[in-house]
Amino acid sequence: MIRENGDKLPVELKGEVETAVAAAKTKLDDEDAAVIEAARSELESKMHKLAEELYKSAQASGEAAKAEPGKESSKKSDSDVVDAEYEDNSSNP
């Protein structure tokens, strides 16, 4: 996740997440479940922050694209579509 989106994330946050990942990896061999749970919880918290930053970045880039003048949507207009009902009366005499 960090490799693919590293350019969209603040350097401090990337460092925090990488540190949390390294800490969690070292705790995997620990016999104490509370230590493992604490490392998992810390990593989960950092990943939530990372996801939030990615979401904000995607929102900002989406809004910037909408605000660019001269860029028209490639979506076709549905103004020529007619909504109608069809009834097959061929089996009725």
Q: What is residue 70's predicted lDDT score, i.e. its pLDDT?
A: 56
Other CB atoms closer than 10 Å to residue 43's CB: what's the count? 19
Q: What is residue 41's predicted lDDT score, i.e. its pLDDT?
A: 93
Angle CA(46)–CA(20)–CA(55) in degrees, nearest 5?
25
Residue ranges in the chain modelled with pLDDT below 70: 6, 63-78, 92-93
Yes or no: say if 77 and 55 are a contact pair by the CB < 8 Å rule.
no
Distance of CA 70 to the CA centre of its chain: 28
Q: What is residue 66's predicted lDDT score, i.e. its pLDDT?
A: 66
What is the pLDDT of the chain when averaged over all its residues?
Answer: 79
Q: What is residue 65's predicted lDDT score, i.e. its pLDDT?
A: 63
Q: What is the pLDDT of residues 39-51, one digit of tens each?
A: 999 999 998 998 8
